[in-house]
Chains A and B, each alone.
Chain A
Amino acid sequence: MLNELIEMFSNDFMVRALIGGTLVSLCASLLGVSLVLKRYSMIGDGLSHVGFGALAVASAVGSAAPLQIAIPIVVISAFFLLRLSENSKVKGDAAIALISTGALAIGITAASVSGLNTDINSYLFGSIIAMDKNDVIFCSVLSVIIIILYVFFYNKIFAVTFDESFAKATGTKAGIYNMIIAFLTALTIVVGMKMMGSMLISSLIIFPAVISMRVCSRFKTVIITSALVSVLCFIVGLVSSYSYSLPTGASIVIVNMIALILAVIIGHFTMKKNKHDRRKNN
């Protein structure tokens, strides 16, 4: 077992995948808690499709740095989707679906016209060898920024996530924190997309948050558990993807699914106890 692991990580691309992926998973899980609790999960999903569209178009026109072109487009879409969800609750989710399928269609058409069909597969479903040295550096810088911002603004993020109208009414500029979260989410998605694929990257945001909310009842423990679960599931998924030659993004999502099922079972018993307590108190 140990020998296998040593052999596995003697490959440079595996080390890069491990470092980059761990950092992306960590960032995605922190941001995910707020997005899921604010009912903004679909923004993450919409952004990944926009990211795919932007990457495909950028590669189709022969850009040397498709990632650098995709980032501003996804960031702008993030602000736009946030606006949509804030202003019209009912139409917001339909608008996100319109934008994500639209971006997907543009991306697929661009790739097909320019004959990029082999790359299409790796953009859509990710690839274990996708992370190059620059990506790892970018990931590291990004995650350090996200973690510092997150710790510094932790109490404000909690207040804005729990109750935006209260935060606004008592003088916290909720709009800015929403935008920071949307901005960081956009960056995380673009960076993680290469490995996870645009179809699956939003799972990194949503699964760990939902898993930890099942078993934890304090915000702080939800955040910490979410980060731990996310990194653990990523590593297990990565290793099994290498050992059994499975698609990387998909194996990570499957490990997350197993974790969710376990969490639902554990949560079922602990929740029952809480409900019982509540009846006793009333």
Chain B
Amino acid sequence: MDITPDSVVYWQSGALKINATLVFTWAVMALLVGGSWLVTRRLTTETSLPRAQNLLESIVEGIQGQIRDVTQQDPGRYLPFIGTLFLFIAVSNVLSIVPGFKPPTGSLSTTAALALAVFVAVPIYGIAAQGLKGYLKTYIRPSVFMLPMNILGELTRTIALAIRLFGNIMSGTMIAAILLSIAPFFFPILMNALGLLIGLIQAYIFSILALVFIASATRAHEEGKPDEAAYAQEETIDG
């Protein structure tokens, strides 16, 4: 039994390996890019719009709404990064019910790469929002003694992000495989349905956590400003 799709090697030449993770990552990327290219090729602003355009528009609107709810900022800046993370993880998790498809998120290499992308994006967004000095100041908040804790927290939350996604998806495929060998026919279907739910929740969690990390780096200096009251009011109106 394979614990990760990394060990399934399709083609090898010297140190260069093409394993299942790479193949299915590219398949998911091709599906996403090709699908959205096909749909956005002829966009329309008429009153009657094609179904596919409606689908994409509602996805983008939904992600924008979530980003606006969490950060209380304009979603435009975060949408490309967070939306890409969410769509990639969600599509690769959902496709795991296709027979023969090994979800690339079930490999620690993919999830570590995604977590590293978040790890790099946090300082980039932070410096862009409040300058290098302002961003570095967030590390010595509330006092200088917290510096090691802050740095440690930054590292461990990246590792946690990677292992959480990997563990959830890997356990889903693993449990389905184990059940297939001891109780075939009915139970694997139930566990696969549960796996779909967990896959979507994990995609949501991953992107929301990335967003929370980025947002906390960008708006640390706004704490205690008078628009706190406005936030509170907005949240009750949203609810």
- Is B a genuine binding partner of A? no
